[in-house]
Structure formats: structure tokens, C-alpha cells
Structure 1
């Protein structure tokens, strides 16, 4: 599996870019999975549902399955957060895994940047960022794409990973 990341500060456009990239790349017949890093506690379960009740009761893992989807929830219960490398071993094989977040990991990335946030670019200090997708013109030592030019960004990523 090939891996490529999308990073950036909060409200930089990462999730929108990820969504558009998945649509663009899968539309070309390439299989894609995604990994999203959350910086906060999150819940995909709802109080009162059977799976939530199993988890709250102390189950380490709860596997939810139907004819439409399968979801596996794990409670870390004071264990260390799994590394990205470990999480990738849990995915079924696909052509490309797009990763949102994990900006400190060593995989290649594109940085999403919106000028209105006022945040500095991450790229100048991070050689793993191979390109920037921005809503403003930038002069950089690596490719800069319009944040909304999904086709060109997808072309760049696919070229980078050899797909």
C-alpha cells in the first residue's frame, strides 16, 4: 500500500481536501482508504446503543457488523496510542492510504493552508511536506497548488507514489 498525507493547522482545509481527493482518486479506479488522527476524545458510538453498552461495561474491543459495514472499536484503557505504522497494518489492502494528520510522521505529505487562519506554514521546517495546497499564491521551494485544484493535487500525489 502506498501512503500519502494531508496536514495543516486547524481550519486549513484538510478535511475538505481529503474528501475531494478520495472522490477524485477513486473515480480513476484506484482503491483508497483513509486514516484520520483526532487530537481529542471522540466517540463513534451513542449512549443507549448495544455497542456502547458493551464498551462501557468493559469490553476491550467491540465489533459491529451488518451487511453494509463493519466497525471495530477498541478501548485503549490507559494503553499508549497506537502508532500510524501499527494502524496501517490493520487496514485491508488498497492502492493508496490517505492520512489526515500525523504531521510529525515521516510519510510524504501535502500541506493544506488557508491564509485567513493566520497560521504559519509548516512546510519550511518539514522536508516530508512535498507540496502546499493554498488559497493564496506562495513562493516556495516545492510545488504550490490552488487549494481547490483537486485534479492537479491528485495528479501530483499519484505521481509521487507511482500510481
Structure 2
């Protein structure tokens, strides 16, 4: 599976871009899944539910299944946070995995950057950031600049960079 990252500071619009990017990539016949990183504690489960109670009792993993989806909850229990390479084998094989976050990982990335937010960009310190998606014209130190509102152009950049079109 090919991996490409979408990075940027909090509130820059990464998830909004992914909502547009996924259908633009799928429209070109490429299967796609995502991995989302968060720095916050999260829980998909609800206190009182059977699966929550089983995890609280000490189960390492709880798999929930229904007729419409399944989810595997894996408790780290003081283990280190997994890297992208450790997570990928748990996913069904697809052509492309888009990774939101994991901004310090070494896979190729595109940064979502909005100068109006007043935050410093990530790309000056990360050679893995190959392109910038922005809503303003920027000097990007030789990196590709793509209009943040043009999901098809961003999809084309990722597909061409990863040579996914030639593999189909």
C-alpha cells in the first residue's frame, strides 16, 4: 500500500480537505483508506456499554461487529504509541492510505497551510513535505503550491507522485 500524509497545524482544514480528496481519488479508480492521528485522548466507546466494560476489565482488544461495520479497539496499556508502519498491517489492503497527522513521520506529505491563521508553516523544517495546499499565494522554497480549494489538482499531485496511475 502506498502512503501519503496530509499535515498542518490544528484548525488548518486537513479533515475538510480529506473529505473532498477521498472522492476525487476514488473517482480515478484508486481505492483509499485513512489513518487519523490525534494528540488527544479519545474513546469511541461509551461507559456502561458491554464493550467498554470488557476493556475496563482488562481485555487487550475488543472487536465490535454489526451488519454495517466492525471496529477493533486495542488498548495500549502503557505501551508506546504505534508508528504508521505498525498500524498499516491491521488495515485491509488498498491502493492508497492517506495519513492525517503523524507530521514528523518520514512518508511523503502535503501541508495544509492558511497564512491568515497566523501560524508558522511546517515545511521549512521538513523535507518530506513535497507540496503546500493553501488558500493564498506563497513562496514555498521550491515546493509545489496547489490551491487548497482544488481537490482534483491535489489528488492528481498525490497520484502522480506515488505513480498510482501507472499501476492500474
TM-score bracket, shorter-length normalisation: over 0.9
Q: Does residue 142 of the first structure (1) align with residue 146 of the second (2)? A: no
* Farther-moved stretch of structure 1 (147-156 vs 27-36): 27-36
- Consecutive unaligned residues in structure 2, runs of 5 or more: none
In the alignment, is the contact (CA less than 8 A) between 1:17 and 1:147 conserved in 2?
A: yes
Q: Offset at 1:42?
A: 0.3
Indicate whether 1:36 and 2:36 are aligned: yes
Match of 1:15 in 2: 15
Partner of 2:106: 106
Runs (4+) of structure 1 exceeding 6 A deviation are none
Structure 1 segment 4-83 matched on structure 2, within 5 A: 4-83=4-83
Say whether the 8 Å CA contact 1:111–1:131 is kept in structure 2. yes
How far apart are the structure 2 equivalents of 1:91 and 1:3? 12
C-alpha separation between the residues in 2 aligned to 1:157 and 1:68?
30
1:29 Cα deviation after fit: 2.0
What value does the CA root-mean-square deviation take over the aligned residues? 0.9
Instruction: Give the drift of 1:44.
Output: 0.7
Give the secondary structure class of the aligned counterpart of 1:136.
Answer: coil
| C-alpha distance in structure 2 between counterparts of 1:118 and 1:149, whole Å | 22
Q: TM-score, normalised by structure 2?
A: 0.94
SS at match of 1:5: strand
Structure 1: stretches of 5+ with no match in the other structure = none
Distance 1:117 1:57 in 2: 44
The structural deviation recorded for 1:57 is 1.5
Alignment partner, residue 162 of structure 2: 161
